[in-house]
Structure 1
């Protein structure tokens, strides 16, 4: 058994297709199939159930793939640590980011990081704050940029506060509140709202603010990205509460949108989080680029 065989097995398990797995591994399919068959003979078990149309891992294959991923990650880490000992940072850096990140210009950050560490392969993943924090805890991501309701902290990870922000009311031009200097939640509670999906941290920020004020609102439209929310608002389908630091530039470029300050509206905190367990050289390099180094996280 060798690492290449493990890579082949993981590729087949993830693609559920020998041809696509071979393409991913830059090898001809016959060679990949031969190496996996040889591994199955060595182990004395079938790793995959095969038919003319389907390929899926057997119970033995599922168990093998889980351990193989750990072995491959350890091998990659060994290469990265050896390179770091000579002053060269290599390996892989997995970064998570919420779509409304405003405290850090993520594309510019990645540009600066690549300029300093060109041998590191950076992968970017967007998602919900709770999902990204969990991925950092599980070792699937190295760092992540999150946004959580004021007073809520990510657990099980190192966390550094990047910024505090309040939500602004986003209304279509011509709305009765367009041009108002400020409003309260009670003044807008009867409106129709556009918001993020229920149960997400992004939605919780507004839900908690209304609940704390003893108010109930109607969320008629749910969307996963700010761009769609703002387009729905611009068409007059509802109003929205969005982080002001993120939405302000969008509204400045779109005459169909106007922002209004909400006196008792939601607040959020943006965090940088990373794993407490033995961060990789590539992760430590990113923390240095961010100016974090290894100083204690903020409380």
Structure 2
């Protein structure tokens, strides 16, 4: 049984005539007759009462017609939904992020995407950087707001840099350099450092080591924390100083100073990551919107 059998039956039922149905569908009357005979043979019951002036449905034909119309409507809906999916208007999108890496513009981006893509089921999943990379590879998320993947990950993971997050020194307010407009990293030589774990944020950890080594010293690491909020807590507790990417969430800590660094390479990249084998128009639409938010200063 094919959809055309159902379309021909609906046309005959509505036109009450093989000839008028043929004219309506722009096919020959013989084609209509053959297809209706084939349909009745396949169903095993007579669906049509063929008269000289009018063709009518039998009682089984009336029941069959109801289901035929539903099937045709479902097929039309399937086509429309497939076309919407091709345009990136429907589907599911699972986004990984980490709180220390997205600013206060991130919720606005998500709201904007929800408003412009109401047919997309969007899910947010917070996870640290290296967990995001594994989740992308495993297919647990589709996109990630994260740091640039390490070289061994780049066979599977594609990425675009959307912004550079400046690194800042995080100091207690009573630190001698707390009031500085900008800070030379070498001024922190001899300090105890609280750092982000390389296991969860390798790019930030490596950048801190790089900045210190370039400034001529190896940092004395007093504590290692897995998330930026824990690093902040350690500095507040007097464990040492730190260097982290700046984000606007840090403004609320009144007992700490966040001092920009002079070094030109004092930044880490914020990226949107995905896997090539799972890329599709929906993901590309989201990436374009994210880049637009960056260009207009809304992220």
Q: Deviations over 1:97-148 (max 9, x none)?
A: 1332247822211111112223322222233333323432443321111224
> Which piece of structure 1 moves more, 205-214 or 139-148?
205-214
Residue equivalent to 1:224: 226
| 1:109 lines up with 2:109 in the alignment | yes
Distance 1:220 1:80 in 2: 60
The secondary structure found in structure 2 opposite 1:177 is: coil
Q: CA RMSD in A?
A: 3.2
| 1:242 lines up with 2:244 in the alignment | yes
Distance 1:113 1:127 in 2: 21
Instruction: Assess, with a 3 A threshold, how the Cα gap between structure 1 residues 181 and 152 changes in structure 2: closer, same or farther.
Output: farther
Q: Deviations over 1:36-88 (max 9, x none)?
A: xxxxxxxxxxxxxxxxxxxxxxxxxxxxxxxxxxxxxxxxxxx9997241468
Contact 2:186 2:216 in 1 (8 A): no
Structure 1 unmatched ranges of 5 or more: 1-78, 293-299
Q: Within 5 A, what are the aligned runs for 1:88-237?
A: 89-102=89-102, 105-148=105-148, 155-156=154-155, 157-199=157-199, 200-201=201-202, 202-237=204-239
Which has the greater radius of gyration?
Answer: 2
Which protein is richer in helix relative to its size?
2
The secondary structure found in structure 2 opposite 1:101 is: coil
Residue equivalent to 2:287: 287
The secondary structure found in structure 1 opposite 2:277 is: coil
The secondary structure found in structure 1 opposite 2:231 is: helix
Residue equivalent to 2:254: 255
> Which piece of structure 1 moves more, 101-110 or 175-184?
101-110
Give 1:208 shift.
2.6
| 1:269 lines up with 2:244 in the alignment | no
Instruction: Give the alignment's TM-score, normalised by structure 2.
Output: 0.60
Distance 1:165 1:121 in 2: 30
Q: Aligned residue pairs: how many?
A: 210
Distance 1:81 1:198 in 2: 48
Contact 2:147 2:268 in 1 (8 A): yes
* 4+ residue segments displaced more than 4 Å: 79-82, 151-154
Residue equivalent to 1:73: none
Contact 1:170 1:241 in 2 (8 A): yes
Contact 2:145 2:272 in 1 (8 A): yes
Distance 2:78 2:188 in 1: 54
Residue equivalent to 2:68: none
